[in-house]
Amino acid sequence: MSRSNFEQLSRAQLAALLPELLLCGHLIDRSGMAHTIAALGRTGMTAVAIEEWQLASPVYTRRMQRAFGFTGDDVVTIFKGLQLDIGAPPQFMDFRFRVDDREHGEFWLDHCGALLDVEPMGDDFVVAMCHDIEDPTFDATALATNPHARVRPIHRPPRRPADRKPMCAWTVTIDAAHVPPPVPPNADQIAGSAAASLALADIDSGDEGRSDYAGPLLSDLRFADFSKSALVRMADEVCLQHHLLTLGFLIALRSRLEPTAAIELCRKQFTGIAGLTAERLRKALNLGDDPAALATVLRLHPAWNPLSYTGVRVSEVEDGVQLTIPRDSGAESDGAWPALIGADHLAPIAAMARAVNPRFAARTVDSTDRALTIEMTRADRTFRESTEVALTRFSTGAVFAFTDRGIPLPLTVV
């Protein structure tokens, strides 16, 4: 039995897939926050966004540091973590770095897809994202590496002039005199989740290519330089980031909405990102629109990975694909995405299927206390894209294309 669904891919395929997984993790908020604004207003949305990132990012940042051998407490460690964070997908959020010494550095964004998404909505939304949300969440990410780290703006939007480049710039300072902020409420819920403590297969140091991110900070991560074993682990870790962020989102919603309303809003978030992610995975791997392509997309979809967390199984059947969700997994106990699927709640799965072929229909074929089985087959008609996917497509990330930037440069102390 495979330990990871990503083992079926070649090293080259995995290298192409990793930036896609990071970008789709970033776009989770493009799916969820539109519905959050409708339910709670701009101020409520801002509070939810702050809480979800504060809860999730320290947990997955430390996981990635341990997995790829760059644990430490300096500025370089903070910057390496950002390069493997769904909050900073490569090129779409084009972080550039400068290291002055182990306790001082700067980063700036030559391109910020999130800002380009929000600027048309007006300065109030720009301030909410670039001031209200970024201040505590950048600090939360840095504090995962060093409790005395501070991230402070040099300049940031609203942009004056309107085409200012870089779009923002920040200092990172580690100062022993800096008093860390209190641990956010509900942090123990994420820290105690099955996702936070999930053990994944060790990276095989004998594989061809990089097995870790020890050594100097690089201007960019070129995923093709990593070994297949490292890329498999990286893909599973990035999928866990998706789940941890969504768990933070759900915790934040539950403290502000009735339980049923919180679940329904999270289902809408899931549906929007489920469809858009399936579409990008299919295109990245140059797949067709038949059941075999759908089965591949489902096996690789972040909602169903890591395999050891979800236990979700995908199989091809006559004229279609079956997906089986066990009810005894870590994802189920956490209340993560698989737990949001029910016999009468199949919209996220339908969105995934229709991103491969708009004629696919999903239906429940078996539902017990042990597992839920859904079958997807082609119907006689074409289905319209769901409202949730259409809203997520508002982001420029929906059509963003990655480019090859060549050999990355090591960044040394200036």
Pairing verdict, β 371-378 and 360-367: antiparallel
* Section 19-33 average pLDDT: 97
Mean pLDDT, the chain, whole residue set: 96
Q: How far apart are CA 378 and CA 400, in angstroms?
A: 29
Percent of the chain with pLDDT over 70: 99
Residue-wise pLDDT for 336-391, tens only, equals: 999 999 999 999 999 999 999 999 999 999 999 999 999 999 999 999 999 999 99
Residue-wise pLDDT for 158-175, tens only, equals: 999 999 999 999 999 999
Q: Which residues contact 101 (CB under 8 A, 6 or more apart)?
A: 75, 413
Kindly tell me the burial class for residue 405, based on how many C-beta atoms sit within 10 Å of its own C-beta (0-12, 13-18, 19 or more).
Answer: exposed
Q: How far apart are CA 227 and CA 10, in angstroms?
A: 10
Looking at residue 181, its pLDDT comes to 86
Looking at residue 346, its pLDDT comes to 98
* Section 62-68 average pLDDT: 98
C-alpha 260 chain-centroid distance: 25
Does the pLDDT of residue 327 top 50, yes or no? yes
Q: How far apart are CA 279 and CA 23, in angstroms?
A: 13
Looking at residue 409, its pLDDT comes to 87
Residue positions counted in the chain: 414
**Can you give the residue ranges of every domain in the chain?**
7-185+214-243, 277-398
- C-alpha dist (Å) from residue 31 to 49, 61, 138, 341, 400: 12, 23, 21, 17, 16
Percent of the chain with pLDDT over 90: 95
Q: Which residues contact 142 (CB under 8 A, 6 or more apart)?
A: 78, 149, 150, 151, 172
Residue-wise pLDDT for 135-149, tens only, equals: 999 999 999 999 999
Q: How far apart are CA 134 and CA 124, in angstroms?
A: 14
Q: How far apart are CA 254 and CA 332, in angstroms?
A: 17
* Section 205-212 average pLDDT: 96
Q: How far apart are CA 55 and CA 77, in angstroms?
A: 20
Does the pLDDT of residue 411 top 90, yes or no? no
Degrees to nearest 5, angle at CA 336 with 334 and 338: 120
CB neighbour burial string for 270-307, b if at least 16 within 10 angstroms, e if fewer: bbbbbbbbbbbbbebbebeeebebbbbbbbbbbbbbbb
Looking at residue 180, its pLDDT comes to 87
Looking at residue 1, its pLDDT comes to 44
Degrees to nearest 5, angle at CA 202 with 82 and 208: 85
Does the pLDDT of residue 414 top 80, yes or no? no
Q: Find residue 152's DSSP bridge partners.
A: 171
Q: Residue 26: pLDDT band by 50, 70, 90 thresholds?
A: very high
Looking at residue 296, its pLDDT comes to 98
Looking at residue 370, its pLDDT comes to 97
Q: How far apart are CA 253 and CA 394, in angstroms?
A: 22
* Section 242-269 average pLDDT: 98
Looking at residue 412, its pLDDT comes to 75
Looking at residue 2, its pLDDT comes to 64
Query: Using omega within 30 degrees of 0 as the cis cutoff, is the peptide bond preceding 348 cis?
Result: no
Q: What is the dihedral of CA 272, 277, 279, 280, to 10 degrees?
A: 140
Report residue 45: phi and psi, to 5°.
-60, -45
Q: How far apart are CA 121 and CA 42, in angstroms?
A: 11
